[in-house]
Structure 1
Amino acid sequence: MKIKSVLLSVMAIGLGIMIWGRGTVAQADLTDALNKAPQGVNVDSYFQTGSILPNSATKVATDFGENQAVQLTNNAGQLGTIWTQDDAKMSLDSDETASMWMYFGDKNSSSGDGMAFVMQNDDRYDHGMGASTRNANGNSVAGETLGVWGTDQDKNMSTAGEVAATGIQNSWALEFDTFHNGTTGEGALGAGSSFDTDSSLSASYAHIASGFPGKAKTYNMHQVPVTTTTKVPDGTFFGIPQYKDVSTTNQYYYASMNHTKPIEGKSAGWLVDGKWYHVTLKWNAADQTMTYVFDDKDPKTGQPKANATSKTVSVPKSTIDPENTGKVRWGFTGSTGTNWEPNAVIFEQVPGIVNSNATATLKDETTQRTVASGDSVGGGHHMRLTYNLAYTGGSQNWKDIQVKLNLPSNMTFSGGTVTYGDSSLAKTSLSAADLNTKSPTVPITDMSKTNPTATITLDGVASPGDSALAMSKFVGSNALADATVPAFTVTAPTKTSALNMVLTGDSASGETSTMPDKDVPVTGQLKYDDNSVVNNGTMTLHPVLNGESLPTELLRSSDSAGAFTYNVPQAKLLSGQANDLKLYAEDTDGRISNEVTDTITVKTGSLDLSVPTTASFEPTTLTGKEQLIRPSSDLKVAVSDTRGKGNDWTLYAKSTPFMSKLRGTLPASLVYKTGETKDDLSAGYVKLHSATSTSDNDVTDVSDGWTADEGLLLDVQGDAVGGVNNAPMAYIGQITWSFTNAPT
């Protein structure tokens, strides 16, 4: 007996060491995982641990700060729950997106049991904050239930409805089950380890699946007859009591679970492999469906994964929101049994708070081609990198956004801008010096329904070399997004001589003025620094106007070698302001010239006519013969043209008959006489003058040079009647003036 006692003591001490050792290993494992975890939002404002007792869930820190992750379990026999606070409930009446990173430890075959994402309106316990699997005594149940599914630990439960009543009510759950509960037969009775024996699963590995914990259709009941044999008195024999065996058969039950739209692992270590897995859930309000996408993002690069698995299930609002509140509380549950693992979640996007996303596009402006992963780009090619941020809804604005850019190493940046969907917000300029650090931080104005977009546009030149994937992060206090520029290679030109461009002629100063109705010719010259001949037929000109790449042009073979004229389309010029034209050229050997700039100012000049509102003709004594009467000196006609040098105009005029109240119509016509030609203005418009401006401020005196025999004259016929007794007779007519801003 003494020996046995000693052995038992040694075993007890050994067991204590083993338990302590497992806990230490697991804690070190989780600590290391949290130190290497992806970034998330601070969960303190949106989540609180459930009110079950005990609750193993706790908010923990990562390298990105406090309250970055939720640790649901970290030892055997635990149950952890965490739920959104009241003001962070998810709307069921609008499309919502949730995204998170999940960690299941690296214990492989000794792991269990997993986690579940849950949406619920189970108000039986603390308005939903105490929601969990509950047995008949009201105590929370862990193990295979994951804290959300019903429990079959009472082998006398004979119906699926009884099991469903013990799960979280008015709920939908997506389980991440890391332990195969495959016990059947009599061993399953009361054991709570048979949920994975149903035919809805094809393998005994970890799996993801959805269902309704509070619905009877989620469970299948299995009946097991259990026969017990007892000895009962059967008289005496010579005073000795006799017994006989009596057998009794009772019916007991256990449950298996219907797994809807499962995603099954292919190996025993699936999920429990020390990796962070990204999960996205998308709620479609109109269709009342939930789409869950598993392993859709690389934790190191943030790059979307092509092999992500996606499933869509129907989630009727009437099931999870029978009171039609339009809201649902959501969160995570996690549990362990004898087998266990550390379970942790990091939230990247909290539905109902902020819905946001970001994309990155790299474009080779020289070839007008979007750069994809593995593409090759010519050295010196002009590049444009564009990040687009979008706010698509939520109960809060996307706040305190800091953009942490990670820029390609094989680009030299010349500058950039930040513009917003709210046009009243000022454009922000980004300096080349900051961008060429390759990792600048850019603050972004809060985004909202009135400012739903932000665009970061960066311009630069490709430099020979390779780049790795470059993931930039858009970190707000209540939402995160990221976008990745693909890896690409920049090749050097096949020839090393440099191609140089200069502006020539009127463009040499780099400043040009023009009117808004004219194309602008810009001239220049290209040369190689080794004096080799420029072949115009192999040289492509690249124009960029106000940041927009315009169609390229080949140099004309009719021009001298390297000479070019580029006509800037007037339709592309912005009136009343300076336009920034940049030009560079590329030859067929991949050599790119330097970039030259011409600032084109579009004037807002005008074409104006100056004439008096009233004027007269010289007093005249009628002779009874045809007479030409000249205007008085008060009829001055002038045209002012401030549209700039080289603009054309033409002046026209027409007149009504001249009338008197006493004598009626004067037998006369207003004419315009040049030489022997007389054009009658009473018959319609007659051209009086045309000109081409010779300066930016031309004034033409049209009436200068009109004489008694030239210009605008009143041609009076011989039968005209004047006044009586030396009293003059007044005749009145109207002249209408018109001009066009073009040649005749």
Structure 2
Amino acid sequence: MLKRWLSVGVVMLIMGLTSGVTAHADSAEDHALATAPAGMTLTGDDASLTTSDQAANQAGFVPIRHGQAVALTTGEAQAGAVWSTNTHAFHLTQNQTIAAWVYLGCGQQASDGLAFVLQNDSRMVNATPQFGATPIGETLGVWGIDADPFPATATALSRTAIQNSWALALSTGRHTQANATAPGQANSFDLGATTPYLAAGYPGSGTTYQRHKVSGTLGGLLTPNRYYYSLALQGRLAVPNLANGQWHHVTLRWRAATHTMTVIVNDRQATTNAAESGTRRTVNVDLNRVDPNHTGYARWGLTAATSTGVTAPTLAVLTQSPRQPKQVTSAVKPQSKPKMTTRATNAHAAVTVTSHRSVQVPSTHPTTVTGRVTPTGTASARPTVQVTLNGQRLATTKPQPNGKFAVTIDAAQLRPGTDRVKLVAQTATRRTEPTTVALHVAGKLTFAALSTAPGFQKMPVATKNELVTRQPGWQIVVQDTRGTGSRWTLSAQSGTFVNETTGRPMAGAPVYVTDGTMTPLSRVPTTIMTHTTNDAQADGKTNVLAQWSAKTGILLHAQPGTAAGRYHGTITWTLNNAPE
């Protein structure tokens, strides 16, 4: 019997693009920094803390009235960490104390929280969870990644965390998704919490993660079982006021003889620094999990991560470190270490920056980073300034006799999105920790590739409802060079497909298929994908088709009653600069 065939092509495409960049207010951060209590100066020639060289690490050091603050995150979908330098390691064989003021925002606008961490991960200052494209807030920058609804074991999940580590979490308790909607969402670590809380655990241990099962059809025989995880932590303590828009003092006291850590929260009054009783918990720490090679040391630090939509800053002001036994109660006295301050300017603006903030600069103008190196104490040799841009070393700069310097970066050297300038003051024998200036070069949201012209596969005339897959050669690639944290939505709509010869409509239409759902494309836009950009991944490019399989994405729903022939139609693609 002779088969009749039908061929369907998408012969015309219309690209819609709404432009513009959303501005984010940072008034909460400005207020928090303006009201920050006194703290330590953390950078300089004998720096106690440092950030990593990873572009995705958003942490930085911010000047405050007395000392410096650590800005771990300042916006949504970010991760940040600061770690002790080698000379300021945590001595596990000696009693130690770490103390800090922390700021997590307020109420529903609070950040996800932060963690105090001890670790001997082989990645050292580059230790971080295996996020993939976008940081996940419930990890606080230290726990494992629960984004797979079919994980093999809790041990497999734990391998995505910071290894050989112990963490004290200060969580705002927002991640409590449960039941059938929870698998694969990475939003359940705080299950059981009704308020902000603190608790401790081992991120790299499978026993830290409690598995919850969502049974598939027929006990998993027809459709597979799915899973999600919550955290099984030690010493959980509710701290209801932790996210009330105020600074809170936290003290950690390590007792080497008993291998115990006592944490005291709210033990100082923010405005007067007066001692208060606070609330405390003491937990045991298994050093075999933290220091498996029995070195007697660990790297200590602070980590944080934020979810999409969480814009509150995560801040800390250290008042005592393991190598700084004296409590800071007033302005920090000058110490014998060089300090570096920076300022970024361009032809149209002069913006004072801190090491963690992005500076908006035109993409067609050179940008000048200026600063001053101020030797203090007994420093004798005049330092030079080593400059790197996005990991590439630029020319070394000699400051003027008064310590001022200026580094001009040509527009051709900058890339759209976030560029990072690192400055290191050095002499023949000594150097400071890097000071980072983040330059946000105006980028754009666009289709890097868009072609669906190959259409759908040729098929016999349908005698029943069928889904027809795409021909090879489709390309849908979005590029967002506006910087990490930018968001976009891709949508599609379609009119009627018609026979090229007769003009008669086809019985059927393109549909958007996801796991378990099928949405016909109509003249009303259908959301295909929403995404938060991480410009450290593939220069901000997202291959939409990589998210689809042969049975998902845009397919053709062919129905009985369509005559043989060649059909064509229009799919309109719209790229918006924020989720709908």
Match of 2:315 in 1: 344
Match of 1:77 in 2: 77
Match of 1:316 in 2: 286
Asked if structure 2 preserves the Cα contact closer than 8 Å seen for 1:112 and 1:179, the reply is no
How is 1:624-639 mapped onto 2 (pairs within 5 angstroms)? none
Match of 1:167 in 2: 161
Match of 1:31 in 2: 30
Aligned length: 314
Match of 1:144 in 2: 138
Distance 1:290 1:140, change over 3 A: farther
Match of 1:50 in 2: 52
Q: Aligned pair 1:176/2:174, yes or no?
A: no
How is 1:455-534 mapped onto 2 (pairs within 5 angstroms)? none
Distance 2:110 2:328 in 1: 36
Match of 2:266 in 1: 295
What is the Cα deviation at residue 158 of structure 1?
A: 3.3
CA distances 1:639-668 after superposition (whole Å, capped 9, x unpaired) = xxxxxxxxxxxxxxxxxxxxxxxxxxxxxx
Distance 1:226 1:51 in 2: 43
Match of 2:236 among 252, 258, 262: 262
Distance 1:42 1:303 in 2: 21
CA distances 1:121-148 after superposition (whole Å, capped 9, x unpaired) = 001x2xx11111115x6x7743211110
Match of 1:281 in 2: 252
Distance 1:178 1:158 in 2: 29
Q: Aligned pair 1:94/2:117, yes or no?
A: no
Distance 1:50 1:74, change over 3 A: same
What is the Cα deviation at residue 114 of structure 1?
A: 1.3
Distance 1:37 1:273, change over 3 A: same
Q: Aligned pair 1:225/2:215, yes or no?
A: yes
Match of 2:298 among 328, 332, 337: 328
Any stretches of 5+ residues in structure 1 without a counterpart? 1-7, 229-246, 360-397, 401-744
- Secondary structure, counterpart of 2:157 in structure 1: helix
Match of 1:117 in 2: 116
Match of 2:127 among 106, 117, 131: 131
Amino acid in structure 2 at the alignment position of 1:348: T
Any stretches of 5+ residues in structure 2 without a counterpart? 1-15, 337-580
Amino acid in structure 2 at the alignment position of 1:318: N
What is the Cα deviation at residue 179 of structure 1?
A: 3.9
Match of 1:250 in 2: 224
Distance 1:332 1:358, change over 3 A: closer
Amino acid in structure 2 at the alignment position of 1:110: Q
- Secondary structure, counterpart of 1:250 in structure 2: coil
Distance 1:158 1:280, change over 3 A: same
What is the Cα deviation at residue 292 of structure 1?
A: 0.5
Distance 1:63 1:357, change over 3 A: closer
- Secondary structure, counterpart of 1:75 in structure 2: coil
Distance 1:319 1:273 in 2: 34
- Secondary structure, counterpart of 1:355 in structure 2: coil
Match of 1:206 among 181, 196, 207: 196
Distance 1:347 1:314, change over 3 A: same
Distance 1:343 1:110 in 2: 12
Amino acid in structure 1 at the alignment position of 2:275: P
Amino acid in structure 2 at the alignment position of 1:263: L
Asked if structure 1 preserves the Cα contact closer than 8 Å seen for 2:115 and 2:170, the reply is yes
CA distances 1:264-321 after superposition (whole Å, capped 9, x unpaired) = 144xxx3222211101000000000100000100122121113x00100001222211
Amino acid in structure 2 at the alignment position of 1:55: N
CA distances 1:516-567 after superposition (whole Å, capped 9, x unpaired) = xxxxxxxxxxxxxxxxxxxxxxxxxxxxxxxxxxxxxxxxxxxxxxxxxxxx
Distance 1:122 1:358, change over 3 A: closer
- Secondary structure, counterpart of 1:319 in structure 2: helix
Asked if structure 2 preserves the Cα contact closer than 8 Å seen for 1:71 and 1:344, the reply is yes
Distance 1:118 1:179 in 2: 18
- Secondary structure, counterpart of 2:288 in structure 1: helix
Distance 1:188 1:283, change over 3 A: same
Amino acid in structure 2 at the alignment position of 1:347: L
Asked if structure 2 preserves the Cα contact closer than 8 Å seen for 1:50 and 1:82, the reply is yes
Distance 2:328 2:100 in 1: 16
User: Aligned-residue CA RMSD in angstroms?
Assistant: 2.7
Match of 1:720 in 2: none
Larger of the two Rg values belongs to structure: 1
Q: Aligned pair 1:104/2:97, yes or no?
A: no
- Secondary structure, counterpart of 2:226 in structure 1: strand
Asked if structure 2 preserves the Cα contact closer than 8 Å seen for 1:134 and 1:140, the reply is no
- Secondary structure, counterpart of 1:118 in structure 2: strand
Moved more, 252-261 or 68-77: 252-261
How is 1:371-450 mapped onto 2 (pairs within 5 angstroms)? none
Match of 1:665 in 2: none
CA distances 1:351-380 after superposition (whole Å, capped 9, x unpaired) = 1x1223599xxxxxxxxxxxxxxxxxxxxx
Distance 1:214 1:32 in 2: 36
Asked if structure 1 preserves the Cα contact closer than 8 Å seen for 2:119 and 2:164, the reply is yes
CA distances 1:13-58 after superposition (whole Å, capped 9, x unpaired) = 7xx68x52xx21xx22212221221111111111111333311111
What is the Cα deviation at residue 96 of structure 1?
A: 0.5
Asked if structure 2 preserves the Cα contact closer than 8 Å seen for 1:163 and 1:216, the reply is yes
**TM-score, scaled relative to structure 1:** 0.40
- Secondary structure, counterpart of 1:271 in structure 2: helix
Q: Which has the higher contact order (CA 8 A, sep 6+)?
A: 2
Distance 1:250 1:329, change over 3 A: same
Asked if structure 2 preserves the Cα contact closer than 8 Å seen for 1:140 and 1:147, the reply is no
Distance 1:143 1:218 in 2: 17
Distance 1:355 1:172, change over 3 A: same
Amino acid in structure 2 at the alignment position of 1:74: T
Moved more, 48-57 or 84-93: 48-57
Distance 1:141 1:36, change over 3 A: closer
Distance 1:358 1:344 in 2: 17
Distance 1:317 1:160, change over 3 A: same
CA distances 1:713-735 after superposition (whole Å, capped 9, x unpaired) = xxxxxxxxxxxxxxxxxxxxxxx
Amino acid in structure 1 at the alignment position of 2:254: W
Match of 1:63 in 2: 65
- Secondary structure, counterpart of 1:77 in structure 2: coil
Match of 2:383 in 1: none
Asked if structure 2 preserves the Cα contact closer than 8 Å seen for 1:289 and 1:312, the reply is yes
Match of 1:664 in 2: none
Asked if structure 1 preserves the Cα contact closer than 8 Å seen for 2:320 and 2:327, the reply is no
Asked if structure 1 preserves the Cα contact closer than 8 Å seen for 2:54 and 2:126, the reply is yes
What is the Cα deviation at residue 324 of structure 1?
A: 1.0
- Secondary structure, counterpart of 1:261 in structure 2: strand
